[in-house]
Each structure stands twice: as structure tokens, then as C-alpha cells.
Amino acid sequence: MQESSVQTFIIILYLFTLGVLAVYGVHRSALLWSYLRHRRERAEPRTRFAEADLPNVTVQLPMFNELLVAERVIDASARIDYPRDRFEIQVLDDSTDATASIARARCEALRRDGLNIRYIRRASREGYKAGALEHGSRVAQGEFVLVFDADFVPPKSSVRDLIDYFTDPAVGMVQARWGHLNREHSLLTRCQAMLLDGHFVIEHAARNRTGRFFNFNGTAGMWRTAAIEDAGGWQHDTITEDMDLSYRAQLAGWAFVYAPQVSAPAELPGDMSSFKSQQYRWAKGSVQTARKLLRRIFESPVPAKVKREAFFHLTNNVAYVFLLLLAALQLPNMLIRRRMEDPTLLLLDVPMFWATCGSVAAFYIVAHRDSYGGTWQAVKRLPVMMALGIGLAVNNGRAAIEGLFGGDVEFVRTPKSGATDERGASGPIAYRGRHPWHNALELVFGLYCTATLVVALATQSWASVPFVSLFSVGFLYVGVTSLLEAHGSRRQGDAEVDAQEPSTHSSPKPQSMLS
């Protein structure tokens, strides 16, 4: 009797977990459908500024220990085409390594050439990137600020491409699409590009074109300074200050515009540890923002469709926790199914699996086709990309749990190496993160899912084989790659690794939890 109760509990928990993931899959399909309905629509400026009426613009370049890319982003920003008497560049440098001397020297050289560029260094790093942007905004000369992270190469036309949208006084922010400097560098960067293209091509377009909230991505976007101030300014009680400010500004009534025809190329993380560091920050920060703002969003007078989309957008990374639970339950579910006399009820998992996986496949194939043309390359990369997404479940699931329940706000910058498709990492060293102890869980899950796959093959559970294979490959790919990178870093010597290590800190103002 007790054994039967345990089996029933496992089956119910398994189906519930799969059902939650299927709901997020259905939401992804709804986003895709919205995009397809509005794909030919293009946001155009209401009118255009006359040359004599162009407003003052400040380009802000926040950076911290960007030794290999600081000069590149400064020089690219200096080449931006805009009237020099209405153009300012702020290099907001919190670096603790040689980046400071490189950035300062480049700013001084450009200033001697007549460019209005300021090198700004704070007395402390309080607030990290949000604190740097807030500090720079206090002395910015521009009515509008365009932010670029250090891993971007700002296009020459970027200011002119975006500024005319602000002829509409209701517009508070305009976001450009991210391009990729090193998309073809490796299998990992190709998969990352595919993931990001789905976000920018479909998610942003679908949300913006249907009147839902979407977010400034922290870089390659231009803000009206009045909108920042009206929304309460840059705040640093989450590690995704961009998403936090975006929702507060839209709740305050400011309109956002997505301009996908404007592309700003950026460097993708070239190694697994850097990629996971970036994903961890995004996952944790989005859940922190949900904890901070969801109640306020639900209580606001915005339409129900905006509230629904905000819920799915801000809680999406919680799905990684359910993905881990699903991985753990697959083996006992499979064994219980074999012992049941009437297992037809469990056939519910097949359509729910397809609701999840099918939506992912369609989503990213369409994004790739509309970005680059053709579908075959997307189809070839899709299994690896899906496996990579599953393999991130330990990393992102942990981030979601910490974002939901933790009070600590830890910021870890994403290491950059200056890589492009034509060349690898620049310089004699490349910043790289460590291999945290919890990455061993990825290997444990990988071996466990491999054992589940063996059982599936032995018991001829053919419907489960494709899905279990993705879990096995994904966890092993992420876990083994992280292990090999950590082993390579240790061989370089602890002193060198410590010099390259991105700093981690705790915020002096921990965020309160929303019930």
C-alpha cells in the first residue's frame, strides 16, 4: 500500500512538472504566433529631427576590467557620426587592473583630437554597473543617453539610427538588435547566437508589436534621461538593473520601441564558464525583478495581457528548476510505467513533451530563417542548442532559486576576450571564470540521465529515448566542458587565474522579499 502511494505521488509529480513546462512551451508558441502575425510591421519614427535641431546625446561606456576590449569600444564610439557640438562620450571605468590606464590614455588622446570625451572614475564601486550609470547620468550633457557595454562595437550610424524615434515625446527608450562578432567562432558561440536571435527576433518583436512590455537589454539602447528620472533612476537591488528600470519606466507610462533593423554587433562568450556566468546573472536577475515588481505590475491599471506577459517573461527562468526535477523523475517514472497494468494515463507525457520541445524547435528555426535565410543550418544546430539549454539547468536553476529566496545581490561580470569570427581571443591572456564545485552536479545529472537512457533502450521505451538523449548529452556537454576548462585554468597557475578572475561582490543594499 505504501509502495503504491509512493508510485502515485511520483507519477503525479512527474505529470505536474511536465505540465508546468508545457505551459511555458504553449506561451512560447503564443509569442511565435504573435510574431508571425506582425512580422511585416516595422516601427518608424513619427518624424525626423532637422539637422539643426538634433538634440544632445551622451554615449555611456560602463566597464570593469575590460583589458582586451576597452580600446576597441572607445575607438568605435569615437567614430559615431553625429554633430560634435552635441555629442559626448562618457567612459565609466570601475576597473582595478590595467584597463584603467589604457582607457584613460585613449580618452586623453581623443580629447586632444577635439572629441568631447570624459574618463570618469568613482571613489567606490557601490551599485556596480547601475551605480556607474547613475553616477555618469548626474553629469551627462545629453538629453538622451546611449549605452554600450565593452564587448560591443558601436556602429557609426547608431545614434542617427535611433534618435528620430524620440520625436515622439511619449517614447522613453529605443532598443537595437544585438549582432554577433564571433558567431562562427565555435559550436558554443553558434548555439548562443541562435538563443539570442530567438530573443531579439521573436520575443522583442512580438511583445513590442502587440502592446506588451519588453525590456532594455542593458546595452545597445537609447534612453530619454527624463524617462530614467521619472521611473526612479538606476537602482541596484537586483543584478539586472536594465530589466528593473525597463518595467518601472513602462509602468510610469513611457513607451518603448524595438528597432530590429538597427544592429549592434557584440562579442559572445567564447568559453563555457563565461557563458554560464552570463546566464547565471540574467537568470538570477530576472527572478529578482519578478520578486520586486510582479505585485506592483499586477496591482497596476495596465491591461491583463501586459500582466500575463510580464509574469511569463519575469518567471521564465524558474522553469529550469522544473527541468531539473523532470530529469530526476524520468527514471522512476519509466520503471513505474513498466509495472503498471494500465499505463495509458502516462501517455499524457508524450503530447506534453512535444508541446514543450516542438515550440522550442519552431521558435528558433523561424528566428534563424528570418535572420539569415534558409532553415537547414538551424535544423542541424537545433539538437545541440536544445541540449545546451537543458545542460544549463543546474546553473540557471540555482540562479533562479537564489533570486527567489536570497537577499544577497552578487554581480559577476562576463569575461571578454576581444574575439571575432576572424580571430580568437586577443592578447596573451583571456579573462576566465573558475569551475565552481556545484558544476559537479552537472556531471552527476549527466551520468544519471545516461543511465536513464540505457534503461529506456533496454526496456524499449522508444518514445522516451529522444528526450532522455537530449538530457544526457546536454548535462555531459556542459559539465565536461566546464571541467576541462577548469583543469586548463589550473595548469596556468593560480596566480594568473586570480589575476583574470571576474570580481564578485555583495550589494550593500540587499533586496527585500515579496510574498
Q: Which residues are identified as catalytic?
A: 94, 242
Q: Of the candidates 120, 165, 113, 164, which has an alpha carbon nearest to the alpha carbon of residue 139?
A: 120
Question: At residue 133, what is the residue type?
Answer: L
Q: Give yes or no for a contact between 254 and 170, defined as CB atoms under 8 angstroms apart.
A: yes
Burial tier of 103 (Cβ tally within 10 Å: 0-12, 13-18, 19+): buried
Q: Give yes or no for a contact between 448 and 331, defined as CB atoms under 8 angstroms apart.
A: yes
Name 448's Cβ contacts closer than 8 Å, sequence gap at least 6.
327, 328, 331
Q: Give yes or no for a contact between 54 and 23, defined as CB atoms under 8 angstroms apart.
A: no
Name 505's Cβ contacts closer than 8 Å, sequence gap at least 6.
125, 128, 410, 411
Strand blocks (E) in 183-318: 221-224, 255-266
Q: Of the candidates 144, 140, 172, 136, which has an alpha carbon nearest to the alpha carbon of residue 160?
A: 144
Beta strands 57-63 and 87-93, pairing class: parallel
Collapsing DSSP states into helix, strand and coil, what is residue 245?
A: helix
Burial tier of 159 (Cβ tally within 10 Å: 0-12, 13-18, 19+): buried
d(CA 117, CA 121): 13
- Give the residue carrying C-alpha cell 582586451: 68
- Give the residue carrying C-alpha cell 558544476: 439
- Give the residue carrying C-alpha cell 521564465: 316
Q: Give yes or no for a contact between 497 and 413, defined as CB atoms under 8 angstroms apart.
A: no
